[in-house]
């Protein structure tokens, strides 16, 4: 006798429920297979009956002479009449009424013996429609015009469309262990929880990723991101490029994440070694650094393992291995058009300052280029805990294959800078549970399907769960209109960067200096707060060095610092103390970009052009 629910623990009850669901699913699959077998049998009967009628109509077995009228055209006409259900003329009589000088036709030979049972009259109407097209190869003239595809295409059973909310089928027991539990999200989506089998000291089977599984359970209870969300902006990818670019720039400067559905063309791409080679020209033997979940369960701060791309792809359907490639630079690619124009660090800084300060004979870090475009390859069931991206960069990401559950977090109220640094430190600590902060933050779930894109402002706290194996393209960049958010994010990094960020970058100061060099030539209006933050990050760059990182240097720092210091003086911020007091003004909203600048500041900046002769 089965036990009652009250006699079972929560895990036991869940295991029993899952076993019953598996049994019912197998029964449904067996019934579907029986129906498919029955349909195939009906198709075979229809083909046999059609061929038999064709043989009777064309007198198959008769060997007409060279002048016989029983030609290919006659066969095709006979076949057409079969489909149109018209009465058939006696073609054998036409064949025997040939001229007298033609050889007499032979007696019809008996039809070949069919080992299959005699066909029965089918219980469904015969297929009707146009005759099949003539054969493409002349060598096929003697073959029967009634091919198997002409019947199968009409009556072959069609597989039911895949439920877009079902992310369990094809994953459970294939990409993730069959011992993993499943869960349903508020959106109705069903996924497998993280699971990696291990043994405790007593050799008892355990889930090494149980903390991740509990964390994902918290994520499943979060509301779905809607168009009406306060800190997310949905944009139509069919907008004119100029309008899309303007709307995205405006939303990001207001600390809103941007979502564009169906933006990236992923037609024909598949998650395989061939797919990566065709899309990215990635070699199978390419060395790549990955995060291994088994190693992360032993020591969270050191999950790094070296392997090859080919090995990573081969283990996608190995439930005993769960890995993700985060360090996968793709500098040969750029952001999809027109998103690349949001990158002021590249479009304004590096691209337009070569005649101000040449890069010739300058030592530059490769991170300046590799950070612009990268790929992410995830196995199924991997959780990336909450964090914000390093060095105050904006981030764009577009899903190419598989699916992503993207969690976006925003503060309900505006704390002080010091309070924010402390709250972010607590929120991004993986030992803390998400539900402990529901009174202070608002978290929403964003489901990304292939071709969907998201752009996050600097300092956007986010976590990602990958329910199925996936490939994602993305990149980091800097935007002049969002420098007030970049400054705040880097301030948090300098205060507590152990868990806050996922990877440091060494080329930030170089890029910021390049943006400052182009300021005297900019005609466009920018916000006051963003301009002050940019100049402050250059003048007092040591203040923004993340914990555990070395202070960055730049070949053009001296020249950029002259322009930045002069700009701060123009706003009355003569010292570091004045600069710090600027952020302590209680009347300023922490994420506010400030008032727009008038033309006087650009007239002032134009005076620095004399310094900007080619160095």
Distance CA(13)–CA(18), nearest Å, equals 8
Q: Confirm whether pTM is higher than 0.75.
A: no
Q: What is the pLDDT of residues 62-110, one digit of tens each?
A: 444 444 444 455 556 655 655 554 444 444 444 344 444 444 444 455 5
**Structure confidence at residue 525 as a pLDDT band (50, 70, 90):** low
* DSSP string over 84-101: HTPPPP-HHHHHHT--TT
Q: What is the pLDDT of residues 72-82, one digit of tens each?
A: 555 566 556 55
Strands 232-235 and 257-260 turn out to be parallel
Mean pLDDT, residues 144-170: 57
User: Is the distance from CB of 446 to CB of 407 less than 8 angstroms?
Assistant: yes
Residue 150 has pLDDT above 60, yes or no: no
Q: Residues near 504 by Cβ (< 8 Å), separated by ≥ 6? A: 390, 391, 497, 546, 549
Residue 137 has pLDDT above 60, yes or no: no
Residue 305 has pLDDT above 50, yes or no: yes
Task: Give, rounded to a whole angstrom, the gap between the first and last alpha carbons of the chain.
Answer: 87
Q: What is the pLDDT of residues 450-494, one digit of tens each?
A: 999 999 999 999 999 999 999 999 999 999 999 999 999 999 988
The sign of the torsion formed by the CA atoms of 97, 98, 103, 109 equals negative
Return the pLDDT at 154. Answer: 37
Q: What is the pLDDT of residues 345-392, one digit of tens each?
A: 999 999 999 888 887 777 777 788 888 999 999 999 999 999 999 899
Which of the two residues, 503 and 53, has the higher pLDDT score? Answer: 53
Which of the two residues, 230 and 105, has the higher pLDDT score? Answer: 230
Return the pLDDT at 8. Answer: 65
Residue 59 has pLDDT above 80, yes or no: no
Number of C-beta neighbours around residue 100 at 10 A? 5
Q: What is the pLDDT of residues 235-277, one digit of tens each?
A: 998 899 999 999 999 999 999 999 999 999 998 999 999 999 9
Return the pLDDT at 74. Answer: 56
User: Is the distance from CB of 200 to CB of 178 less than 8 angstroms?
Assistant: no
Residue 133 has pLDDT above 90, yes or no: no
Residue 144 has pLDDT above 50, yes or no: no
Beta bridge partners of residue 464, listed in sequence order: 384, 406
Return the pLDDT at 38. Answer: 83
How far are the Cα atoms of 31, 34, 35, 143 from residue 159, in angstroms, in the given order? 14, 14, 12, 31
Return the pLDDT at 211. Answer: 94
**Structure confidence at residue 615 as a pLDDT band (50, 70, 90):** low
């Amino acid at each position: 006798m089965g036990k009652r629910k009250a006699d079972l623990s929560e895990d036991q009850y869940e295991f029993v429920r899952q076993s019953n669901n598996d049994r019912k699913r197998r029964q449904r699959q067996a019934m579907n297979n029986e129906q498919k077998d029955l349909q195939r049998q009906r198709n075979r009967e229809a083909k046999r009956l059609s061929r038999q009628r064709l043989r009777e109509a064309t007198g198959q077995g008769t060997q007409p002479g060279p002048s016989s009228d029983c030609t290919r055209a006659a066969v095709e006409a006979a076949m057409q009449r079969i489909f149109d259900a018209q009465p058939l003329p006696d073609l054998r009589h036409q064949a025997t009424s040939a001229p007298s000088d033609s050889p007499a036709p032979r007696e019809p030979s008996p039809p070949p013996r069919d080992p299959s049972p005699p066909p029965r009259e089918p219980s469904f109407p015969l297929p009707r429609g146009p005759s099949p097209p003539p054969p493409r190869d002349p060598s096929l003239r003697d073959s029967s015009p009634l091919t198997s595809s002409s019947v199968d295409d009409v009556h072959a059973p069609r597989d039911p469309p895949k439920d877009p909310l079902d992310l369990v089928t094809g994953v459970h027991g294939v990409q993730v262990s069959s011992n993993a539990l499943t869960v349903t999200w508020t959106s109705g989506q069903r996924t497998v929880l993280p699971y990696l089998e291990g043994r405790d000291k007593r050799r008892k089977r355990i889930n090494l990723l149980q903390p991740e599984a509990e964390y994902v359970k918290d994520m499943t209870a979060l509301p779905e991101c809607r168009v009406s969300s306060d800190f997310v902006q949905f944009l139509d990818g069919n907008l004119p490029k100029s309008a899309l670019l303007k709307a995205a720039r405006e939303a990001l400067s207001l600390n809103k994440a941007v979502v564009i559905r169906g933006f990236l063309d992923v037609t024909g791409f598949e998650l395989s070694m061939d797919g990566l080679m065709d899309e990215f020209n990635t070699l199978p033997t390419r060395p790549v650094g990955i995060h291994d979940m088994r190693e992360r369960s032993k020591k969270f701060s050191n999950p790094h393992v070296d392997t090859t791309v080919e090995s990573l792809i081969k283990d996608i359907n190995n439930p005993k291995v769960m890995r993700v490639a985060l360090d996968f630079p793709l500098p040969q690619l750029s952001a999809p058009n027109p998103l690349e124009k949001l990158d002021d660090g590249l479009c304004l800084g590096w691209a337009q300052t070569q005649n101000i300060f040449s890069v010739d004979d300058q030592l530059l870090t490769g991170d300046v280029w590799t950070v612009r475009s990268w790929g992410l390859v995830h196995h199924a069931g991997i959780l990336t805990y909450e964090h914000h991206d390093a060095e105050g960069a904006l981030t764009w990401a577009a899903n190419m294959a598989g699916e992503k559950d993207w969690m976006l977090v925003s503060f309900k109220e505006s704390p002080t800078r010091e309070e924010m640094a402390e709250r972010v430190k607590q929120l991004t600590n993986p030992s803390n549970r998400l539900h402990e902060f529901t009174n202070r933050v608002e978290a929403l779930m964003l489901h990304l399907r292939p071709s969907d894109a998201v752009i996050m402002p600097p300092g956007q706290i986010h976590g990602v769960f990958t329910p199925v194996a996936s490939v994602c393209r993305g990149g980091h960049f800097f935007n002049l209109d969002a420098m007030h958010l970049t400054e705040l994010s880097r301030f948090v990094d300098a205060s507590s960067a152990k868990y806050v960020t996922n990877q440091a970058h060494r080329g930030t100061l170089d890029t910021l200096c390049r943006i400052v060099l182009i300021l005297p030539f900019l005609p466009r209006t920018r916000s006051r707060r963003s301009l002050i933050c940019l100049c402050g990050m250059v003048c007092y760059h040591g203040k923004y060095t993340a914990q555990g990182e070395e202070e960055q240097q730049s070949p053009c720092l001296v020249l950029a610092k002259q322009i930045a210091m002069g700009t701060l003086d123009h706003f009355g911020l003569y010292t570091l103390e004045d600069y710090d007091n600027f952020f302590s003004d209680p009347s300023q909203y922490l994420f506010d970009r400030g008032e727009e600048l008038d033309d006087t500041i650009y007239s002032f900046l134009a005076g620095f052009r004399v310094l900007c002769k080619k160095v």
